[in-house]
Amino acid sequence: MLTVFALACHPDDIEFVMSGTLLLLQQQGWNLHYMNIANGSLGTEEFSREDIIRIRTEEARKAANSIGAVFHAPLVDDYNVFFERETLAKVASVVRQVAPDILLLQSPVDYMEDHQNAARLGIAAAFCRGMPNMPVDPPFPSTNKDVVLYHAQPHGNRDMLRRTVHAGMYVNISGVLEQKRAMLACHESQKNWLDASQGMDSYLISMEETARETGKLSGRYEYAEGWRRHHHIGYSRTESDPLYETLKENAFINEEYEKNCR
């Protein structure tokens, strides 16, 4: 069975930009794995550190369980997601254990450092998956299995300098939007926090608006998620696009983007 690993930063990040694609892969029989590197420790104005970590971990676990995904526990506090050896060793161990065919990551450019660092950690963890002399925590044997990396759209489809980011591939998630919404709704603790801290006016509405905007960027779909494929060197022996090949009835390649990759 083919395996996809969704690796993001905070509890609810997967639901915002990746879960529609995960649901479509599930329909095609893929094995799903789900992990947030950070534990959500700062995402509250109401709870203690210990309480919000417990609450948000259980919310994320509930979301993963709702789609039959294997849940992997978070590793560090919010804003302790740094590109450094200790955290990389932990992320790399999980990547080796999962040995995914597809690794879904956040955008390497986004509005906050935690998201960008989570992407960097995933990239490096995948790159050193086949290096037996690279120590990982806990120890796990290296693997040379091919993996293809894809980066989700940044929050609001903008980079940190407000420029619109266009995807290389758009996936039509209109048919699974309600399930995507239900996954995000598992993160009940975030409604008040996001309203207060970011003026999101309702995290569920914000997610739908982002998916609608991504659909508009696609020029074809009402609701979409967008993906950019990472360079294959160091990750797979040949250049391949398993996400598109699996979902091509619900996806299309942005030829304008691909022209810039040639």
pTM of the model: 0.95
Residues 184, 16: contact at Cβ < 8 Å? Answer: yes
CATH number at residue 231: 3.40.50.10320
Tokens read off for 35: 């992990």
pLDDT digits (tens, 9 = 90+) for 102-153: 999 999 999 999 999 999 999 999 999 999 999 999 999 999 999 999 999 9
Residue type, 254: N
β partners of residue 194? none
20 is in which domain, residue-wise? 3-259
Most distant CA pair in the chain, distance: 51
pLDDT in tens, 21-52: 999 999 999 999 999 999 999 988 788 999 99
Instruction: Please state, for a pLDDT cut of 90, what percent of the chain lies above it.
Output: 87
For position 259, what pLDDT does the model report? 86
Taking all residues of the chain, what is their mean pLDDT, rounded to a whole number? 94
Taking a C-beta distance cutoff of 8 angstroms, is the pair 166, 216 a contact? no
Tokens of 195: 């309203």
**Taking residues 240-244, what's their average pLDDT?**
97
Q: How many domains does the chain have?
A: 1
146 has which bridge partners?
none
**Amino acid in the structure at residue 119:** A
pLDDT tens-digit readout, 182-194? 999 999 887 665 6
What span, in angstroms and rounded, lies between the C-alpha atoms of 246 and 257? 20
